[in-house]
Structure formats: C-alpha cells, structure tokens
Amino acid sequence: MENRHKKILEILNQKKQVKVQDLSEALNTSTVTIRKDLKLLEGKRLLFRNHGGASLESPYVNDRSVNEKEFINAPEKAAIGLQASKMIKGDQYIILASGTSILAMAKFINPIKKLTVVTSALNVAMELSKRENIEVLQLGGYIRSNSYSVIGHYSEMILKDIACSKLFLSVDGLDLEYGLSTTNALEAHLNQQMIESAKEVIVLVDSTKFGKKSFGRICKIEQIDHIISDSNIPSEIVKQIKSLGIDLTICD
C-alpha cells in the first residue's frame, strides 16, 4: 500500500491533478481502491480530492480584495484583456461584468464608433467614462467593497429589460463539471441574469482558475460560447474544452 501511495503522489506531482480512472489504469488497481487511497492521503493533507480525482492545490477559492487580485498574474490578465478587446466592434451593446481581468480589458477598449457598455463594476465604468465614443450604463444596487461591483435586485431589474450582443465575464473558478463560480452568491445570481441578457458569453479567465470552485455557482460550462485564457492551461483541459464545442483562445 505504501508503495502505491508513493506512486500516486509521484504522478500527482508531475501532472498537478489526476483522475481516478487514470490512476486505476496506471497502477493496475480498481477504482474503489484508488478512491480509498485518495481519501487516506487527503487525511494526511498530502492532496485534495475533487469530483473524479485529486489535485495538489485546494479546488476551493476564498474571497480576496480586488486591490490584491489586480496584481496576481497581471501580465496574463493584460494579454487576455487585450485579446478580448479585439472582439468588440462599433455600434454594439455589450455587458462587462466585474473582476480584474475585465478591468484589464477595459483599459484597451477605445472604439472608433459609438459603443454602449452595461457594467456592474464601478472601476470599469470609471475607466470607460474617459473614452469619447463609449456610453456607459452603470447598474445600480449595493456595492461590494471587495470588488467595487454592485449586486442586488435593482441591477437584475435593469438587465431583464435589455438585450446585448456580448457578455464578457470573469470568474473565480472554472471547473469542467461544477461549472463557473464566484465567491459571492448574490454576484453569481447577477451574472446569471447577465447571461440571460446576452446573445454570446465570453469568459476571461487566467489558467490558475481552472479546476477551482467557489461558493456561488454561476452556470454550467455548456452555457458559455468562448473562453480566453493564457498558455499555462493543462493540455488535458484544452482537449476537454474543445470537445464541448466551446471556442478557446489562448494568449501567449
């Protein structure tokens, strides 16, 4: 048993996350035995179990201040934001949710023709208000100090009465089975209404968010159309995303 546990940890150290079925085949052991092994190793705090496998990092995301998150993976977020901004054309109505990747995107938006942006994020609205050809509709509600974004009934009421071509959404976690999630349940509910109000859903997410889960689930991954991320996504996840028919843009 100890030898099998050692091999499991060796494989996990190489791949960062593994599936029960893959471990079963690699070690020529039943899936029932592998699940028992993973439970025991998690008890020793050597790994974290998730649905169907295990990982070295905890799959659960805690809430952090936007001032702290803005400096985490900043180059990757800038590249993702630049790529996302290229998808915007003039004479469009779009929704920008909150998050540091969305703020990074906003800094690159400078349309030649008129653009109308609906947003829940105060910092995004302030950034875009500097641009001559952008009209901003700031959603109202209670302000989350951690994210500079609004939540609540008033925002959702406005969204029910509008229709936009694109929603650009940033998330705290993207798990292929659990779906997209964020740390605040009310913000997750607002994001759900944004999805209902948009024809196309584009998710801006750096590679560290894959395989992570947070408190408020927004939607299933099948409900989104396009993912923009950086080049550190594990190849297995890339294959799974493409197999679902979701467009994937990887930024260098």
pLDDT single digits (tens) 176-225: 989 999 989 999 999 999 999 999 999 999 998 998 888 899 999 999 99
Q: Which residues contact 179 (CB under 8 A, 6 or more apart)?
A: 217, 218, 219, 220, 221, 223
pLDDT digit string, tens, across residues 68-83: 565 577 899 999 999 9
Has residue 58 got a pLDDT over 80? no
- What is the topology classification, in CATH, of domain 66-251? Rossmann fold (3.40.50)
| CATH 3.40.50.1360 segments of the chain | 66-251
Beta carbons of 117 and 134 less than 8 angstroms apart: yes
pTM of the model: 0.78
| CATH 1.10.10 segments of the chain | 2-55
CATH code that applies to domain 2-55: 1.10.10
With cut-offs at 50, 70 and 90, classify the pLDDT of residue 63.
low
Beta carbons of 56 and 65 less than 8 angstroms apart: no
